[in-house]
């Protein structure tokens, strides 16, 4: 039994050393990443170093010029002319540089959770010199101009308009990875202290505890050195060979991307290598000179031994309990923050897409063993109905034969697009020729054709749930002053799930009566009641029990809710006159 206990202690000793070393390595690595890779200022420096600003300016200028050549501007209507004006103003070098810096800063705010929406694209509309805001407003009122009214466009709106939901999913995936990494970083410290506490309880000897601590630092140094070597090999050997597959879906030059990634990750590799050497030398030096450290600890132990027996026990157990409570509180708080952030950011959809594969492959042999055919079939994930009119693009190099393919097909009525390719790995992307589509298209991915014959690739698509619309009902009195604390309700009985993270302006409130399943809203200090509902027509009325007696209650009225739109309704209520007040008439 003693032998088994001793072996178990040795196993626990070794496991906790490796685990603590990895936790310390995680903490140090995340500290460096937060100040470099996840810092917008650091990326702005790299963007300037690799001449990304000038490259993007040249790329946009060439694209815009080609667009203007193919467009007959003489026959363009007024709206097209205004949109062209916006494009010309937005694509100036100054605006492009400003937007690159703005997107760089705001995208990392989005990843860190400091910003809920994607970055905004600002439009270069400058106010004429010597003209104040009041005069400019009057000019806009007399001569409304789209380009003068639009100041910025959110990137999410642009991606939705272009039907690039795949990019939105990739950005949300990156945000989820950063979210998980940030919480692991915080938890690593608490777990490291917990490991130290466990070792202190099991091994009561100071010599064993010091040895464990030094070996944990040595393990941390080893993880830093190993990560540095792996990262160096990746940057110099693996990345140049695979840069094509990383940049195939990007409009940027592969050499530019390769240079940028190297400048981004090379300092991290050097930092980990240096830190690994320092940790290793530090732990080895202290191991061979631990006698001095032991002397200090023994002196402290002697001072503690002079205390009364009860005081020593109280000090020992008190410190242990205090440290344990600190660890449990810190871990509990971080786990609670993780759960709250997970729910508020709706990361469950990201996890669902990661855990549930949306492709099923079946290979059928062909008579000609030299033909490689890829048949992509799109279908509804719920009804299994085929999804037609979706553009499927396939690009990449084949090994047999040696050839580059860049093909596109639109799925037929059976939801099928066929491609004759070769043996190799290909990049598949999905887009819709029309903006109005009911399905969420999958993110681009690579697929490798290994066997000759017909390869059937089935992709399940999920339907897009229409976004709710918002109706703002403004209630004013005869003096055009807002009337607050009026309760409005819907005559329709609906089952509406209120959003936990929904914020109301001022003292406006909206709630759902779970018993009657009726939706209510109360006017805030600005006299506005807000309803967020699915698209449709609704009948709205005022609650008589909470309506002020000095006003005449209006009749019920109808509102229209449009998906992803805000509609404003204004209701004016009249004061009661002496003739309309029965009590006044009797008096």
Summarised one tens digit per residue, pLDDT across range 366-378 is 444 567 888 999 9
User: CA-CA distance, 46 to 262, in Å (whole number)?
Assistant: 10
Average of pLDDT values for 340-345? 78
DSSP class of 427: E
Spatial separation of the C-alpha atoms in residues 45 and 541, rounded to whole Å: 58
pLDDT score at 383: 86
What pLDDT score was predicted for residue 166?
A: 66
* 138 compared with 432, residue with greater pLDDT: 432
| pLDDT at residue 58 tops 70 | yes
pLDDT exceeding 70 applies to what percent of the chain?
A: 72
Q: What band does 88 get if pLDDT is binned at 50, 70 and 90?
A: low
Least confident of 61-70, 102-111, 316-325, 449-458: 61-70
Q: How confident is the model at residue 69 (pLDDT cuts 50, 70, 90)?
A: low
Which has more confidence, 141 or 197? 197
Q: Is the pLDDT of residue 142 over 60?
A: no
* Long-range contacts from 143-149, C-beta under 8 angstroms, 24+ separation: 145/82, 146/79, 146/82, 146/83, 146/85, 146/86, 147/82, 147/85, 147/86, 147/89, 147/123
More confident residue, 210 or 547: 547
Residue 400 reports pLDDT greater than 60: yes
CB 159 within 8 A of CB 101: no
**Residue 380 structure tokens:** 């509804």
Q: In this predicted structure, what is the pLDDT of residue 431?
A: 85
> Are 123 and 98 within 8 A, CB to CB?
no
The CA radius of gyration of the chain, in Å to the nearest whole number, is: 33
Cβ pair 533, 519 in contact under 8 A: yes
Average model confidence (pLDDT) across the chain: 76
Task: Answer yes or no: is pLDDT of 585 > 50.
Answer: no
What pLDDT shows up at residue 294? 63
Largest CA distance in the chain: 105
Query: How large is the average pLDDT for residues 114-120?
Result: 81
* 32, 192, 218 from 272: Cα distances, Å: 9, 20, 14
Given a cut of 70, is residue 137 above it in pLDDT?
no
Spatial neighbors of 446 by CB under 8 A, at least 6 apart, are: 245, 396, 425, 426, 427, 428
Most confident of 234-248, 290-304, 457-471: 457-471
Mean pLDDT on 227-249: 80
pTM of the model: 0.56
Structure-token pair, residue 522: 């109360």
Out of 9-23, 56-70, 177-191, least confident range: 56-70
Q: Of 125-134, 222-231, 507-516, where does mean pLDDT reach its minimum? A: 125-134
Residue 161 has pLDDT above 50, yes or no: yes
Band of pLDDT at residue 316, cut at 50, 70 and 90: low
């Amino acid at each position: 039994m003693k032998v088994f206990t001793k072996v178990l202690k040795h196993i626990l000793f070794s496991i906790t050393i490796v685990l603590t070393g990895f936790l310390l390595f995680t903490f140090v690595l995340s500290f460096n990443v937060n100040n470099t890779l996840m810092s917008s200022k650091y990326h702005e420096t790299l963007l300037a170093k690799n001449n990304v600003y000038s490259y993007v300016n040249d790329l946009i200028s060439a694209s815009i010029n080609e667009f203007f050549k193919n467009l007959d501007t003489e026959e363009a209507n007024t709206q097209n002319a205004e949109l062209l004006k916006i494009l010309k103003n937005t694509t100036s070098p100054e605006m492009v540089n400003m937007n690159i810096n703005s997107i760089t800063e705001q995208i990392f705010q989005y990843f860190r959770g400091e910003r809920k929406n994607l970055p905004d694209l600002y439009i270069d509309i400058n106010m004429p010199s010597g003209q104040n805001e009041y005069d400019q407003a009057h000019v806009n009122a007399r001569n409304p101009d789209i380009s003068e009214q639009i100041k910025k466009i959110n990137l999410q709106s642009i991606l939705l308009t272009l039907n690039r939901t795949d990019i939105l999913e990739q950005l949300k995936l990156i945000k989820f990875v950063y979210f998980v990494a940030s919480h692991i970083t915080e938890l690593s410290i608490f777990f490291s202290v917990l490991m130290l506490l466990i070792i202190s309880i099991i091994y009561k000897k100071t010599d064993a505890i010091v040895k464990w601590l030094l070996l944990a630092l040595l393990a941390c140094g080893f993880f830093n050195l190993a990560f540095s070597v792996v990262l160096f090999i990746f940057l110099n050997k693996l990345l140049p060979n695979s840069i094509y597959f990383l940049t195939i879906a990007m409009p940027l030059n592969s050499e530019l991307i390769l240079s940028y990634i190297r400048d981004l990750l090379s300092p991290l590799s050097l930092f980990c290598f240096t830190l690994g050497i320092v940790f290793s030398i530090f732990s080895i030096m202290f191991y061979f000179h631990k006698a001095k450290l032991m002397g200090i600890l023994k002196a402290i132990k002697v001072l503690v031994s002079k205390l009364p027996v009860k005081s020593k026990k109280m000090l020992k157990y008190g410190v242990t309990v205090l440290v344990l409570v600190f660890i449990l509180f810190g871990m509990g708080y971080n786990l609670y923050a993780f759960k709250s952030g997970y729910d508020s950011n709706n990361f469950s959809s990201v996890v669902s897409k990661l855990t549930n594969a949306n492709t099923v492959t079946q290979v059928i042999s062909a008579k000609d063993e030299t033909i490689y055919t890829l048949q992509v079939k799109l279908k509804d994930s719920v009804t299994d109905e085929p999804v037609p009119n979706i553009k499927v693009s396939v690009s990449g190099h084949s090994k047999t034969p040696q050839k580059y393919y860049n093909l596109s097909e639109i799925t037929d009525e059976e939801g099928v697009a066929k491609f004759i390719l070769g043996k190799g790995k290909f990049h598949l992307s999905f887009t819709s020729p029309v903006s109005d589509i009911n399905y969420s298209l999958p993110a681009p991915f690579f697929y490798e054709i290994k066997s000759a014959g017909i390869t059937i690739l089935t992709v399940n698509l999920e339907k897009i749930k229409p976004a709710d619309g918002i109706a703002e009902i403004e209630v004013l009195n005869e003096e055009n002053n807002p009337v607050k604390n009026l309760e409005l309700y819907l005559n329709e009985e609906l089952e509406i799930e209120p959003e936990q993270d929904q914020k109301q302006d001022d003292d406006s409130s909206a709630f759902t009566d779970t018993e009657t399943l009726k939706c209510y809203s109360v006017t805030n200090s600005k006299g506005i009641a807000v309803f967020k509902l699915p698209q449709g027509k609704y009948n709205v009325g005022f609650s008589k029990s909470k309506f002020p007696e000095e006003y005449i209650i209006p009749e019920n009225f109808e509102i229209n809710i449009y998906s992803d739109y805000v509609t404003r309704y204004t209701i004016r209520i009249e004061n009661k006159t002496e003739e309309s007040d029965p009590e006044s008439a009797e008096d």
